[in-house]
Amino acid sequence: GENVEQHPSTLSVQEGDSAVIKCTYSDSASNYFPWYKQELGKGPQLIIDIRSNVGEKKDQRIAVTLNKTAKHFSLHITETQPEDSAVYFCAALDDYKLSFGAGTTVTVRA
């Protein structure tokens, strides 16, 4: 089955700086890569996703890049704000199922 590894496990950034989270996956058949943000007491919410026929996607301050050859994808958050503090999960989809990384706890320092 699919194995997704996510790094780092914790990330502390100064407000206004950028944050980068990296993930690798094992199954070359995976073709959809979403990122979820989980705030305290809530379920994960989709923030951005990318399919295997695209190399990069951007939505305001967040962007995702995908390197299918190397089987890795990354989340970039620019101009971080306090409300970006949360746990972020990457995932890879093969057929029906998403396999998730272990999560990154992002703390934005004011």
> How many Cβ atoms sit within 10 Å of the Cβ of residue 106?
21
Q: Segment 60-79, which members bind another protein (CB under 8 A)?
A: none
27 binds another protein (CB under 8 A): no
Query: Applying CB under 8 A, which of residues 12, 45, 67, 81 lies at the interface with another protein?
Result: 45
Instruction: Give dist(CA 21, CA 32) in Å, integer.
Output: 17
8 binds another protein (CB under 8 A): no
Query: Applying CB under 8 A, which of residues 16, 26, 46, 109 lies at the interface with another protein?
Result: 46
For the CA atoms of 110, 83, 104, 74, the dihedral, rounded to the nearest 10 degrees, stands at -100
Query: Applying CB under 8 A, which of residues 84, 101, 106, 108 lies at the interface with another protein?
Result: 101
Give 38's strand partners. 87
Nearest to 33 by CA among 79, 2, 78: 2
Six token digits for residue 5:
């590894």
Query: Applying CB under 8 A, which of residues 21, 24, 25, 44 lies at the interface with another protein?
Result: 44
User: Could you list the residues that contact another protein (CB under 8 A)?
Assistant: 1, 6, 9, 31-32, 34, 36, 41-46, 49, 89, 93, 95-103
